[in-house]
Structure 1
Amino acid sequence: MASILPASNKSMRSDRNTYIGKKFVHVKNPHLDSMEEDILYHFDLGTKTHNLPAMFGDVKFVCVGGSPNRMKAFALLMQKELGYEECGEELEDICAGTDRYCMYKTGPVLSISHGMGVPSISIMLHELIKLLYHARCCDVTIIRIGTSGGVGIEPGSVVITDTAVDAFFKPRFEQVILDNIVTRSTELDKDLAEKLFKCSKEIPNFPALIGHTMCTDDFYEGQGRLDGALCSFSREKKLDYLKRAYKAGVRNIEMESTVFAAMCRLCGLKAAVVCVTLLNRFESDQINLPHEVLVEYQQRPQLLISNFIKQQLGLHRIS
């Protein structure tokens, strides 16, 4: 780790997140300081094999999503909107040496896939946060963009999460560490959520709202679906549960937001979750929209975030 910070800055190591008035990404692991090399295995990157500050030091926005294809599409969109396409810059998968995640960089924007569910995004986040730390990135905004099931709202609605909650509608992420249950807060940056909501109002015919997002450990029974290989409850029980979720402020359901919110909060990352809904769970359990409609819905979070990033960079907004 000594090679990561300039010699004159070694004394700043313990307070690195406030160095020179900038908000650096920080880690909550004292063991990293004693490691001669940190291998980011699932990214096929490392502190000895790659110059991470040179590669990633200018990153200001990190956008993550479950699907590799969707995150490549977002990277291509940002390449076009930021003008890198005109420069003839080729888009390359930085993680091509591994089959776990994909990663694309377009100027100050990093696009990464995280797979499906808490375990997959958790692994990615550990290595992403360390990458940003080793690269000495500062003032970073990270946004999860994806799809979800709506709770009492129309399909195609874009939910900007204010707080991620668990299946008991509590703002917490519980994880078993060794033989202890550790509970962490899942509140997201309220100011960032409001800015994104305001940005959404500038896009014509763009249905968006702020609400709680419920994170579950399963797509079927864990989300009250009646169409899985197993089902241990009645339709009435399902509807009662979803009604209680709605009453608690839940407007959509997905499978990554609690660990995302908890880890970003602990490591000094300004974070947001923006997901489009593909169905209203009060009405259906299965997604049966035409392909072209699904494609258009899935592009909505990308449009909002690309618009937001351009505004933050002082560029013309997307029409």
Structure 2
Amino acid sequence: MTKTKNGKNVELKNPHLEKLPDDKLYHFGMNRLNFDFEKIFGDVKYVCTGGSAGRFEMYAKNFAEETGLECSGNLSLSDRFVMFKTGPVLWINHGMGTPSMSIMLNETLKLLHYAKATDVCFFRIGTSGGVGVQPGTVIISNGAINGALEESHILYVNGKMVKHPAILDTALSQELFDTAKELGITAAYGKTLCADDFYEGQMRLDGAFCDYNEEDKFSFLRTLKSKGVCNIEMEATGFASITHRAGVRGKLFF
């Protein structure tokens, strides 16, 4: 990783970017030549992300009120995502599912690289369905598995399947879990299943299509529980693999 006197830069692993006269972050409505990334984002240390635009605007404003930090307006110049900043914390929504989140993470990593931000941690603060836990339990993930129950994120590149390891920062996960216990927050520590969709991929019985029965559903949930899975959502393996490939610390909690 590239080092600066302050810490570890966000490194981009794409040599083609160096040849571009400009770089457009299409879904934020920004480009490198006409936007002072370092001035606005150079002090960012934490990126908090999740699906809903409205929820992340609310989180940013509530955080600003509780900490006494100023909350920016929406810094995104596109209607695809919202982006708010409170001191060193960036709040960005990513939409639903890994494809949408992947777009956001790619462009956020580039933004932070151009801003010369260092030692940045990424947190996905999401909603999910619990597996064998009481309602209201905070889930702190120590791993992510895909629909084939493997700890990898699957992409198809150039007509071929590519698997990237889905690895989270377990030290950061443990730190968050210990903090939850200290604060008296009911929390569970385990793996997260990343499904490819909301209905069949999560064995729901209320979609437009269903080729399995209730016993199949509960059998699958028991299998997940036996593998240490505590919850189900649709972004975990993508988040874990992208942050791991980028060399930044990544954490999931729900």
TM-score strictly above 0.5: yes
Q: What's the offset of the Cα at 1:90?
A: 5.4
- Alignment correspondent of 1:256: 235
Residue of structure 1 aligned with 2:164, choices 170, 184, 191: 184
**1:207-247 CA distance string (max 9 Å, x none):** 11210000011100110001101001111111111110110
Partner of 2:62: 77
For the Cα contact (< 8 Å) 1:53–1:134, is it kept in 2? yes
Matches within 5 A, 1:1-319: 16=2, 18-20=3-5, 22-84=7-69, 89=70, 91-95=72-76, 97-204=77-184, 206-275=185-254
Q: Distance in 2 between matches of 1:170 and 1:158?
A: 23
Structure 1 SS opposite 2:125: strand
Task: Decide whether the 8 Å contact of 1:145 with 1:274 is kept in 2.
Answer: yes
Report the Cα offset of residue 22 of structure 1.
1.6
Q: Normalized against structure 2, the TM-score is what?
A: 0.97
Task: Check whether the contact 1:24–1:268 (CA below 8 A) recurs between aligned residues.
Answer: no
What 5-or-longer segments of structure 2 have no aligned partner? none
How many Å separate the matches in 2 of 1:169 and 1:159?
18
Identity of aligned residues (%): 42
1:201 CA drift (Å): 1.5
What SS is found at the alignment partner of 2:179? helix
- Following superposition, the deviation at residue 178 of structure 1 comes to 1.5
The alpha-carbon deviation at position 203 of structure 1 amounts to 2.1
SS at match of 2:5: helix
State the one-letter code of the partner of 1:40.
Answer: L
CA displacement at 1:21 relative to structure 2: 6.6
CA-based RMSD: 1.2
Give the length in aligned residue pairs.
254
1:307 aligns with none
Deviations 1:105-146 (A, max 9, x none): 011000000000011101111101111111111100110001
- Larger gyration radius, structure 1 or structure 2: 1
